[in-house]
Structure 1
């Protein structure tokens, strides 16, 4: 499983603007030799791209969005499909010029699923830009809470049952608590190196801490 952003004002997020500018350098490399660039966004949504449209609208691109559910698209620059990030047999090898994925890899479940998603990304395009939050950043980005992801599981269960945290409503039962806690599992630098062995792993830093990790090829 994987998630799409539901933010409608993504353009205000300086990290996402910076990441997309970095991603567009890959697109520009493609456009040096091709008249248009085929982009696959694994887990992305229309709102993300529309919110940042001022950064990319001058480029001849077509963006295919693959997510848990397809969504209406505003114009012919987009295609939206239902699919599974860990298994995309509908796409041939190198079917796209470049793949974009922002804060999705941590949501696909087990490490085995993460490996399958990484393998699919590397199969389907020769270039990619895959961002995920860093496990060792002190603030967990989904719960918006310091160090909660470093706590023993019983304490994490108690925390999500106590009150609403970040994007998650308060868990009413232990079953709900475990479901919430299983929604995202973060990776570290060595994990990303292992999953993307031929990629450069960039560190996105904030006040000296690595906030996110980005596999770029």
Structure 2
């Protein structure tokens, strides 16, 4: 049993985690993410020997953050990568390995993992060109790749909790965010939402894609694509 003590570690918040609104956002987010994990397990059918890379872990300790490590049945087979220092995961999940690295330049050999996963990260890596580079890097190191991202056509934008304005052209959306004081989210480097067609175009053409939507209150809230080599 781990001797890791949560009380001994100061609470830290990631810039990329949305406001919680009295816990409601966290609960809805966790509900949707658990459904995504179930979908992933059904598609990938991992075993205790499956090597897994989780790209985009965070230092934030909110219940819906780093949820994959909590929900995955074999956390000791996970290598977790993030820009932020999430090394505490190694104490919380014995056997897990944390590597602090940039997802656009992963320090791993080609096809070195059986499964690569990433949840709600691709919308934060920058331009379409950077998003494509992110996808291609995950596909380089993984034999199977599962990537999930919020759906731009969901009526509420999850990071700002604002309705509908993200349906406007990007320059208008960003201008309104700046006027409302959301300077961080107004930058393309920090938030660049995707539609399903845009998402699919980021993957190499030699992969077979399986689409799995996640619905929240009747609408498709999250887009998930599972890529395998033909």
TM-score by length of 2: 0.72
CA-based RMSD: 3.0
Counterpart of 2:72? 56
CA positional deviation for 1:60: 6.7
Q: Hey, what's the Cα distance between the residues in 2 that align with 1:62 and 1:52?
A: 10
Q: Describe how 1:24-173 pairs up with structure 2 within 5 A.
A: 24-26=41-43, 29-31=45-47, 35-45=48-58, 47=61, 48-49=65-66, 53=70, 55-57=71-73, 59=74, 61-72=76-87, 73-74=90-91, 75-88=93-106, 90-151=107-168, 153=171, 156-162=174-180, 170-171=181-182
Shift in CA distance, 79/61, structure 1 to aligned 2, threshold 3 Å: closer
Runs of 4+ in 1 over 6 A off after TM superposition: 6-12
Counterpart of 2:193? 186
Counterpart of 1:202? 212
What is the aligned residue count? 196
TM-score by length of 1: 0.76
Q: Which runs of 5+ in 1 are unaligned?
A: 163-169, 172-176
